[in-house]
């Protein structure tokens, strides 16, 4: 079984913001797999099902971003899952906008949601897909930047294309493992 966790902030005011790239990618995954969020469990909206023979859980934490680790700990305990079986999808301002990067484990970088996950679980062994949002423009405050939406049709298309690529990479991870996903999607 694999658990795919898309990080974001709950609430309508945060929908389709840069910080909710994980949520948006999971919605694309829900469409591709037919696994829709059906219930609340483990401080997440959860969808459970099978895709190409692999049991999948899609999880949208209902905690705010900086407390994402609380939901991940609950998921680990409920499903008796190891970090290697939980793929974290999230935005990254340290990657160019639209770039997707897959890693088998590592630090949190500048991401407070990942920092909380690593701190509360005591492990950095979570595979992850980082979705590039680009650096914060100098005239913006960082918080305002990550909580902003996409300002042009071109930005919206770039974000959507990145979410689709990240969704395909997540399905490759679930079916074939992290190494093949990295080989196929880290270009």
Catalytic annotation, residues = 19
What's the CA gap between 67 and 64, in Å, rounded? 6
What the block records as the tokens of 159 is: 């974000």
Do 4 and 57 touch, CB atoms closer than 8 A? yes
Do 124 and 118 touch, CB atoms closer than 8 A? yes
What the block records as the tokens of 30 is: 């829900």
What's the CA gap between 107 and 13, in Å, rounded? 29
Cα distances from 39 to residues 13, 27, 175, in angstroms, run 21, 15, 24
For residue 168, the tally of other CB atoms under 10 A from its CB is 17
């Amino acid at each position: 079984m694999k658990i795919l966790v898309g990080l974001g902030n709950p609430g309508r005011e945060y929908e389709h913001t840069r910080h909710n790239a994980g949520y948006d990618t999971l919605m694309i995954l829900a469409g591709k797999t037919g696994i829709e969020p059906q219930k609340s469990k483990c401080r997440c909206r959860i969808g459970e099902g099978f895709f190409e023979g692999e049991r999948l859980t899609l999880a949208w934490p209902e905690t705010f971003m900086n407390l994402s680790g609380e939901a991940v700990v609950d998921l680990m305990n409920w499903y008796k899952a190891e970090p290697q079986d939980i793929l974290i999808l999230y935005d990254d301002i340290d990657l160019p906008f639209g770039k997707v990067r897959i890693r088998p484990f590592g630090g949190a970088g500048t991401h407070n949601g990942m920092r909380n996950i690593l701190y509360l679980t005591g492990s950095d062994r979570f595979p992850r897909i980082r979705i590039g949002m680009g650096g914060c423009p100098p005239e913006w405050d960082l918080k305002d930047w990550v909580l902003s939406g996409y300002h042009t049709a071109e930005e919206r298309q770039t974000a959507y294309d990145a979410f689709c690529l990240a969704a395909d990479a997540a399905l490759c991870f679930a079916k074939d493992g992290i190494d093949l996903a990295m080989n196929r999607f880290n270009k």
